[in-house]
Amino acid sequence: MHIQFLGTGAGVPAKSRNVSSLVLKLLDEINEVWMFDCGEGTQQQILETTIRPRKITNIFITHLHGDHMFGLPGFLSSRSFQGGENDPLTIYGPKGIKDFIHTSLRVSRSRLSYPLNIVELDPKGGVIEKSNGWIIRYLPLDHGILSFGYRVEEPDAVGELQMDKLTTYQIPNGPIFGKLKNKETVELEDGTVLCGEDFVGEDRPGRIVTVLGDTRKCANIATLAKDANVLVHESTFSKKETKMAHDYFHSTNVQAAQVAKAQGVKQLYLTHISARYLGKMAKQLEAEARAVFPNTRLVFDFDEFKI
């Protein structure tokens, strides 16, 4: 599992940062890529990566401000010509996302060559269950406009059969390995009895990735961030601008760090960075947050991290 940031800026595109979009690469797990937000120019950003548009099977829109969704019409249209002719795509978002997409495609007379499903989510929050066992929980945040935070939960992985422990028994390929994998007790031809539980590693808890839309401090953030392996949190304002952040329904770098520390998050990524924070000022945003939560990183366009 990898996370890659396609746009990390706030409000409008800048020379050093495009507007909001990121992808969760689940290629090794389920051979899919999930996108969160699709700001203007996202399809151009994708061209600078190894991402194949047809692998993007789900798009989760946090809210309907332009810097988080104006890239959808272009991306959806281009996907038809980039190897996505028969691969379905589902878009999740607040009420209004369906009207925006249908109107854009109708007015521009764009025809998609693949099945498109648009799901408008319950404003009170809920759960999205995928057929492969993955779960996405979502809750409303506090941004003046309905803005969601998403919590992606990977299913637990069953412990692997530890083959190195079985080499001395010279077991031929066959159903015995399957029984041991299922933690059954088996008897070999020479009378040796093996207990499967002795040869299966521990189950691995599924990883949790939380991606928040724009928001000021609110209770639902803690619920979504609890024990997450990764928390992606906006950092539009600095610590000294706390009042301004509240007035404009945004968060500060330190507020994000406080959430990460309180909720047992393993890694915090700060995004949605204003164009006014360049060079040393951007590093100062990161330093202030790290003073509260050391495992903090302020991200840039195209940064990619393994989870």
3-class secondary structure for 122-139? CCCCEEEECCCCCEEEEE
What pLDDT band is residue 189 in, cutting at 50, 70 and 90?
confident
Provide the pLDDT for residue 179: 85
Provide the pLDDT for residue 93: 98
The active-site residue out of 28, 37, 67, 214 is 67
Angle, in degrees to the nearest 10, between helices 97-107 and 72-79 = 60
Same domain, 12 and 62: yes
Same domain, 11 and 29: yes
Provide the pLDDT for residue 85: 67
* Active-site residue, 67 included: yes
Same domain, 255 and 279: yes
* Residue range of the domain that includes 177: 163-198
Provide the pLDDT for residue 165: 84
Same domain, 282 and 139: yes
- Note the pTM of the prediction, 2 decimals: 0.89
CATH code (residue 133): 3.60.15.10
112-169 per-position pLDDT tens digit: 999 999 999 999 999 999 988 999 999 999 999 999 999 999 999 877 778 888 888 8
264-276: average pLDDT: 95
Same domain, 144 and 265: yes
Same domain, 137 and 186: no
**Are residues 204 and 157 in contact, defined by beta-carbon separation less than 8 angstroms?**
yes
Average pLDDT value over all residues in the chain: 93
Same domain, 227 and 270: yes
68-94: average pLDDT: 90
